[in-house]
Copies of this chain bind each other. A is one copy, B any other.
């Protein structure tokens, strides 16, 4: 457990947009914010439904005057209060990420935004431009890359432990959309182009797979060939995507993501092969990382082991054998972002370990990936080059 920041710095004042009663990811963000005790939630526009916004705010012990029903009002008022929020978490459906993030950045408030960044590359680039002209910080919650063993994998690849990279195999298999699921709040917006954007499974979990592969391998694909499917009758967005990847150094890759892979829960797995060995990580057993060298014993590394790279130690709370999980991965993003915010407050450089939080650049990269995959799909899986 490492903490570079001032140990008695006051907690960071946090607001939230989205995340009212009945939501999923909002509650995850709140737990993540509490876990390491660096934030205090003080304001929210938790729902577009005024009654739900009110009820949700009371349940979270917000003061009455800081429960908003409109994110624009919230951005304006909070930015002018002396005790206004310093950072906002955006946990709405995808189509609101852009306007909400824009409003708070314009109000001078740091932003933590759920993924995917936006519903179009153009919006993503616009946000990037906006943020570039302000001094506000931006975090994109690709939480899977915050697991300690993923950070260990990244450090080991960067360190040359695998030699020259040759193959990237990433998959993200779920089955919860195997059936139409009409009336399920989580399913409804994800399968509605007006709320989710033009990509379904591709944007929802394909984006995680792509970000994870890029985070660990340190390589963005040069070109891709993608084939999308909608297996459930009547579904308007893709529920399965698969693609081939080519990298600038000649490496090859495959990515598939599915929400109709019957029997799978949250099967995100990454394998990276190089000339000198491979790494294998599975989200469902996140405390483990398997390293295999040609002809050698398979080594199972465990979070908490002393020999791991510093980047993994930094993100570890508990000794080896005491499982950490999904909430801790989210909390790590919050903890690292707290360090960035406090460093900004205190006029110092943040600890370099705290800079692994995905940023707007990652969000732009993700949207570029999504749009390239859609373009390839519409050209019968022709190769599409990703600009950089």
Residues of chain A having any CB pair with chain B under 8 Å: 1, 7-8, 10-11, 24, 27-28, 30-31, 34-37, 58-61, 162-163, 166-167, 169, 171, 174-176, 178-179, 225, 227, 229, 231, 240, 242-244, 246, 250, 252, 254, 256, 258, 260-267, 273-278, 283-287, 291-302, 304-307, 317-328, 380-381, 383
Contacts and interface: CB of A to CB of B under 8 A. Distances in A.
Contacts of A27: 1
A113 B181 CA distance: 45
Nearest to A11: B61
28 contacts: A10-B61, A34-B34, A34-B35, A166-B261, A167-B258, A169-B256, A175-B294, A178-B275, A225-B244, A244-B244, A244-B381, A262-B277, A262-B292, A265-B302, A265-B321, A266-B319, A284-B323, A287-B325, A296-B305, A298-B300, A298-B302, A299-B300, A300-B300, A322-B325, A323-B323, A323-B325, A323-B326, A327-B327
A162 B30 CA distance: 39
Given A8-B58, A166-B262, 9 more contacts: A8-B59, A167-B261, A174-B321, A178-B294, A263-B278, A264-B292, A317-B327, A324-B326, A381-B383
Nearest to A174: B321
Contact of A227 (B244, B262, B323): B244
Contacts of A299: 297-300
A257 to B, nearest CB: 11
B318 A326 contact: yes
A227 B256 contact: no
A40 to B, nearest CB: 9
Given A225-B225, A322-B326, A324-B327, A231 B166 contact: yes
B261 A278 contact: yes
Contacts of A254: 242, 254, 256
Contact of A59 (B7, B31, B225, B277): B7
Contacts of A325: 287, 318, 322-325, 328
A296 B327 contact: no
A156 to B, nearest CB: 12
Given A317-B327, A318-B327, A262 B240 contact: no
A256 B229 CA distance: 20
B252 A242 contact: yes
A297 B304 contact: no
A155 to B, nearest CB: 15
A146 to B, nearest CB: 13
Nearest to A285: B285
A362 B312 CA distance: 38
Contacts of A297: 291, 299-302, 305, 307
